[in-house]
Every structure is written in C-alpha cells, then in structure tokens.
A and B are shown apart, each in its own frame.
Chain A
Amino acid sequence: AQTVTQSQPEMSVQEAETVTLSCTYDTSENNYYLFWYKQPPSRQMILVIRQEAYKQQNATENRFSVNFQKAAKSFSLKISDSQLGDTAMYFCAFLGPGTYSGAGSYQLTFGKGTKLSVIP
C-alpha cells in the first residue's frame, strides 16, 4: 500500500518570502501521479500542482513549483512570494494503483497535511 508522509505539521512564512513544504511517499509502482492540494478554512480542496512520475522536469504553476526526486521518493512544494491568501492546509497526495484486488482501481492517498500561515 502507498503511504504519504508530511513531516511538518505547521509552518509559517513572512509575506513575500519563500517557503518549502516537504513530502515523502512510499510505493513500489513506477507509474503514478503526485499532487499538492490546498484546503483553506472553507474546506474546499483545491488542486495546486501535479507531477507525472515519468516526467523528469519539475512542474511549475506561477508561484508554485515542485522538487520531484523519484529515486528518493520525495516531492516538495515551493511557494515563492508568499501571499496572505496562501494561508491554508496543504496536502500532498499520491495517485496510483489501488490496493483493492477486485479491479484495476486507482487510489488517491493523502498525507496528514501541513498548516501554513503567512504572516503580514
């Protein structure tokens, strides 16, 4: 079974500074996807960025970028020029073959999350 570990329960960053959130995962699969989701207090889970495991190039979306190290099974999120609206819970998620043996299922597994606070 796949596991996702986020070792930083809480982090804070000054507005306009850069912060990096860590994520490691464990899998025996070779093809999978990795995601970072943002969950503000409204509870709506919003996709921030995704990375395909077969791509060596790190994904980038505006101020958000990832450092994907496949051999190390590491997938960190860097937020540049942090803004007050970035304050939220951030979840790392792994999409890969599920553990259910009945079908070729795909399972989206989440880490426990990192609470990020952007300080004015």
Chain B
Amino acid sequence: EAGVAQSPRYKIIEKRQSVAFWCNPISGHATLYWYQQILGQGPKLLIQFQNNGVVDDSQLPKDRFSAERLKGVDSTLKIQPAKLEDSAVYLCASSLVYGFNTEAFFGQGTRLTVV
C-alpha cells in the first residue's frame, strides 16, 4: 500500500513570495490533515478535511494560508505572501475514517525555508 505522498520535499523562497504544497493521501482515506511543525516543536494542526469539505480550520491563518481538497482526494496548501515565521515543516496526514480509533498516517513533509 502506497503511503501519503508530499511534494516538494524542500522549498526555499523569499519573504512575500507565494508557495504551494501538494499532498496525495492514501487511497480511500476520507480524512486529510495539514500540520505545521516549527523546529523544536510538535506539529500544530492547520486544517482538516472530511472528503472535500473542511471540518476544522480554526488554526489556519486565513489572511495568508489557503487549502483545498478538490474531489476529496489530493490537497494543496498555499501560502501567499510568505513570512519569515512560516519557516517550518508542513506535514500532511490521512486517515481512513473520521473520528476515534482512526490512525493518522503521515507523509514525509515539506521543509519550507523563508529567507
């Protein structure tokens, strides 16, 4: 079974530029999560989808971050414009169903450096 795929693995951009990350969850997984992991900290949830609908985006900085999950499969996370404090690893995860007793499988993440 293929795991959660993310691209790119690394990205370096200047502040005020825009950037997009892509995630392909495990086939058949209805729930998709985007996490931000700043160096030395645990992952922080940005947004979670159930199929193509947003369930929770309460911690997403909506003035600069956006995410979509068209057709309930792939997802993209965009930052526009980027700030220095956005430097982090962005992790995508998926789970089969929504709710309890559902293990979240993680991708390898995208390391973003804003200079």
Interface residues of A (CB under 8 A from B): 4, 6, 31-33, 37, 42-47, 50, 52, 91, 93, 95, 98-100, 102-103, 105-113
Contacts and interface: CB of A to CB of B under 8 A. Distances in A.
A98 B56 contact: yes
A45 B106 contact: yes
Main secondary structure of the interface of B (DSSP, over half): loop
A105 B101 contact: no
Contact of B100 (A31, A44, A103): A31
Contacts of B79: none
Interface residues of B, number: 26
A107 B102 CA distance: 12
Contact of A45 (B56, B91, B99): B91
B42 A113 contact: yes
B104 interface: yes
A112 B56 contact: no
Contacts of B99: 106
A109 B100 CA distance: 13
A103 B55 contact: yes
Given A105-B55, A107-B56, A43 B42 contact: no
